[in-house]
Amino acid sequence: MDFSVMERAAQWLAPEFDQETRQQVQWMIDHDKESLVESFYRSLEFGTGGMRGIMGPGTNRMNIYVIGMATQGLCNHIKKNFPGRSDLKIAIAHDSRNNSRLFAETTAKVISANGIHAYLFESLRPTPELSFSIRHLGCQSGIVVTASHNPKEYNGYKVYWNDGGQVIAPHDEDIIKEVEKIQSIKEVPSNGNPELIHSIGKEIDEAYLSCIGSLSLNPEINRKYHDLKIVYTPIHGSGVMLVPAILKRFGFTNIINVPEQDISDGNFPTVISPNPEEKAALNLAIEKAIATGSELVMASDPDADRVGIAIRNHDGSFKLLNGNQTGSILIYYLLKNWSDKGKLKGNEFIARTVVTTPLFEDIADDFGVKTYVVLTGFKFIADLIRRKEDSEVFIGGGEESYGFMIGSFVRDKDAISACAMIAEVAAWAKEQGMTLLDLLESLYVKYGYYKEHLISIVRKGKTGVEQINAMMEGFRSRPPKSLGGSEVVMLHDYLTGTSLNLLSGQKTDIALPKSNVLQFVTADGSIVSARPSGTEPKIKFYFSVKTNIASATDLPAAEELLNKKITELVNSLGIDL
């Protein structure tokens, strides 16, 4: 066994760790070396979604000690960045996961023990509201305890900066350095200062909901179709606190819930995974929609920053939309109505990530609106808004993994505002004599039929990390010459920051931060991207293909064509599924 693993584990047998933790570590040392390695072979680091891991004892696990050291490192970093300030503030929120309240209270104690004001939400709240509260309260930082859509064994810790966006370089790297300087848990004060811990809640809710309410572009249409039947489920998460309230504020009066999923429960008892990307997570909501004759189903993940939807198909059944489809509908609705109402002044922009559908860009081009493409993670959209906010206006943006952001008062993906706007789009479509599916299909006729596909390969633990790294290195050192029968003509390597034209040999710089992403573009316009997840033990492969259609009646044939193309692309990659 690696000596460093045993050395780290031995430190967790010291008296400053609670008895239960010491017993669990000793048991792993005596009986379960595999779990010991997984628990101690590294320290959790900040990825695209912060720090996230399985709960349990160890440096590579989520527990009060890892959270305490991360919080102390954050406090040290904040004091260095805001020297001499006596009014430092950090906002804290948490979702419904097991131990989330404990972890949030632990965080507040460490913050207050450092002489910093901790603004702790009184109970669970959505991640986007935490982002909002940072700027609303004038905080220097914020923290939300959540593992988003991960399975119940996980929890996490997202850190935000004073702009309301998740930390990016150099702050994320500097926080890690500060954490690594902490040699012992003894360096982390555990007794908080109650005078510096402030409970927040309803007053922030009202301010946040008021801002979302201002986004409505057609309130009169919402009132006309107020009885639109909408099924909403928070999947046992924090969306229950605000989504029904914002739908009512937008004018919708026929909101149907799924009672067994309104219960906040970190075991997520009614689903295998609380991930709205997965069809099974929406099964109960769809059953409710069928029983009640509803037109729209919406489901948010535990921290309510992402939303999945299902809409009526032409035959009356329900069709699940993916994140690219929902995002495209939202972008079109926003730009169409901004244009119709004379709100476009020429300095507006939208944003998408490098693995999100190019359809966003096609729509924006049609309305003369600029599109910025950023790395995966809404923290990069937040940073873009911060850099542009004095000269340009952000309308909206999104990513393929069901995250959307409208307006700039929140600097992270936001299922609360997205649910409100999706309902508004449904009402607006009815006013045009269309369903949401009709609207989506009209976009395909106008801009081309884009189809995206995602394959995620899970490789758990230390060995899995090594396998994923080897896979990426193989594609980087030996890039495919063709994919799906079409020659690869462009290679974008976001880790080296270069784009290579494989036909001419010309290299150009990519004006984005470095990230371990590879993207291959073929002669027929297909795009294949490879990216290790920043928050889960998996590598993701993204496929994007397109064909043009003359009318919606051409969609079945186009679907068959593009499905075949995607299958050819997957097979030509030669990956072991």
Is 8 among the domain residues? no
> Do 453 and 427 share a structural domain?
no
Provide the pLDDT for residue 465: 87
Coil, strand, or helix at residue 202?
A: helix
> Do 423 and 309 share a structural domain?
yes
Domain hosting residue 361, numbered range: 208-447
- Boundary residue ending a domain (165, 184, 200): 200
> Do 467 and 404 share a structural domain?
no
Residue 388: phi, psi to the nearest 5? Answer: -105, -5
Q: Are 328 and 335 in contact (CB under 8 A)?
A: no
> Do 441 and 454 share a structural domain?
no
> Is the model's pTM score more than 0.85?
yes
Number of domains in the chain: 3
Q: Is 148 a catalytic residue?
A: yes
Per-residue pLDDT tens digits for 449-482: 999 999 999 998 888 889 999 999 999 999 999 9
Q: Is the pLDDT of residue 127 over 60?
A: yes
What Cα–Cα distance (Å) separates residue 66 from each residue in 50, 52, 306, 462, 527? Answer: 13, 11, 26, 19, 39
> Do 414 and 473 share a structural domain?
no
> Do 190 and 70 share a structural domain?
yes
> Do 193 and 292 share a structural domain?
no
Q: Which of 39, 148, 417, 533 is catalytic?
A: 148
Provide the pLDDT for residue 47: 60
Q: Are 549 and 534 in contact (CB under 8 A)?
A: no
Q: Is the pLDDT of residue 577 over 70?
A: no
- Boundary residue ending a domain (200, 232, 254): 200
Provide the pLDDT for residue 45: 76
Q: Are 196 and 118 in contact (CB under 8 A)?
A: yes
The sheet that has 307-312: what strands, in order across it? 255-257, 230-233, 296-300, 307-312, 318-321
Average pLDDT (171-183) is 86
Helix ranges (DSSP H) in 185-322? 202-213, 219-224, 243-249, 283-292
Provide the pLDDT for residue 537: 82
Name the CA dihedral angle for 255, 258, 260, 264, rounded to a multiple of 10 degrees.
Answer: -60
- Boundary residue ending a domain (181, 200, 219): 200
Provide the pLDDT for residue 138: 98
> Do 371 and 350 share a structural domain?
yes
Provide the pLDDT for residue 3: 77
Q: Which CATH number goes with the domain that contains 240?
A: 3.40.120.10
What Cα–Cα distance (Å) separates residue 187 from each residue in 69, 73, 116, 174, 325? Answer: 8, 10, 17, 18, 49
Q: Are 282 and 290 in contact (CB under 8 A)?
A: no
- The DSSP 8-state label assigned to residue 313 in this structure reads -
Q: Are 129 and 242 in contact (CB under 8 A)?
A: yes
- SS3 annotation, 47-88: ECCEEEEEECCCCCCECHHHHHHHHHHHHHHHHHHCCCCCCC
Q: Is the pLDDT of residue 158 over 90?
A: yes
Q: Dig out the tokens for 422 from the structure.
A: 């999706």
